Amino acid sequence: MSILFRKILLLDGTAQNLVEGELLVQDGVIADFGQNLGRPDGAEIIEAEGAILCPGLVDMRASLGEPGFEYRETIASAAQAAAASGITSIAVLPDSAPPIDDPALVHLIIARGLETGSVSLLPYAAATRGLKGEELAEYGLLRAAGAVAFTDGGQCIASSRLMRLALSYASGFGARIVQHPEDYELAKGGAATAGARATWMGLPGIPAAAEAICVARDIRLAELTGGAVHFAHITTGEALDLIRVAKDKGLRVTCDTAPPYFDLNETAIGDYRTYSKLSPPLRAEDDRLAVLAGLADGTIDAIASDHQPRDADDKRLPFADAAPGGAGLATLLGITLAQVQNGALTMPQALALLTKKPAEWLGIEAGVIERGRPADLCLFHPERSWFVQAGKLPGKAQNTPFDGRALEGVVLGTWKAGTRVFAA
């Protein structure tokens, strides 16, 4: 079956330009793109004037709940949310029950992704057995099974000695360690960023410096070992300054952030709003602006959804006791596009951070429009608006910190290997 997209804007293969043109899909791959391609016999014609066709979004970090926490989210419900959001590849955190620290579970996650027919699942494996931070997992076997990197998910690898061993061991298999950058002792028991707001609300605080302290330690360990470290959901200007210096020195250091950290600040937790309780916590406005600057200047390598499904019982608790985490799949594109609309990013910059850059980091054949590549595609209209409503999002997880927000950027269709998996 052939599909011809016409009267659209295309994100080109460099992910640096939007060009008006046409794109032809045949047998599940991108056959051609450009101007005046003609109409192959029997081709389905899709015209969407004013819409943008880009590669399917690549989400480089999400928790899916399955196995073990199906009451929060399942792979099937996450796949539904991903398709409705233009996402065709997801890197899955190992924070399931049991954790992904066994090759059989790596194989299972990959297979379950294939079963959905709409999203590729790329499993992270646990950096330490059982995510306990006590001894390393079997990196060689896990890597051979298909693990894309190693992480303890939302838990910091607290031991300097263990982190040094992890970096050295992973390097031998050409893999990275993904760190939740938060000094364990400083963050323990905290619920919000330490400062006037947390004090006024009577909440135990986590110093913003807890992030930079962990980042500084792990950069030094990466330098010592020659290993590669990736810092997840960076939230502070101080940490970004350290990462810039490390990159300038040529160290194997990368990082990402998530939409709450460049769109919201700590005022979003007002009235003890547990949907805005995240890990790391929301920061001060200066840090939010620093994260936006890091996206614009290339210090931050990608934007991830940081999808952390929680159910009502997880959130209907006093703020200090509520589980941290926010649903992120449905709002990944819209919140990122908001930064284009306010002038902080260009459209090509924003889309590259959601497609080409995370795909390159993960080492997968996705994220670019090139002839011969699988036709994983997202068609969206950047000027059509929608409202974020908890309870009406696609998928099972509804715990969004953006509840009630008006956004522009409506996904019109998503294609996986040339098959339409979502239609608005």
* 28, 37, 83, 171 from 373: Cα distances, Å: 9, 18, 19, 29
CA–CA gap between residue 31 and residue 392 (Å, rounded): 37
CA–CA gap between residue 319 and residue 389 (Å, rounded): 21
Nearest to 63 by CA among 145, 142, 131, 154: 154
306 flagged as catalytic: yes
CA–CA gap between residue 102 and residue 98 (Å, rounded): 9
Catalytic residue among 95, 287, 306, 403: 306
Which residue has 């065709």 as its token pair?
Answer: 88
59: Cβ–Cβ under 8 A, 6 or more apart, which residues?
82, 87, 89, 90, 91, 304, 305, 307, 329, 332, 358
Asked if 329 and 308 touch (Cβ cutoff 8 Å), the reply is: no
Q: Provide the phi-psi class of 337: left if phi over 0, else alpha when psi is between -120 and 50, else beta.
A: alpha
Residues forming the active site: 306
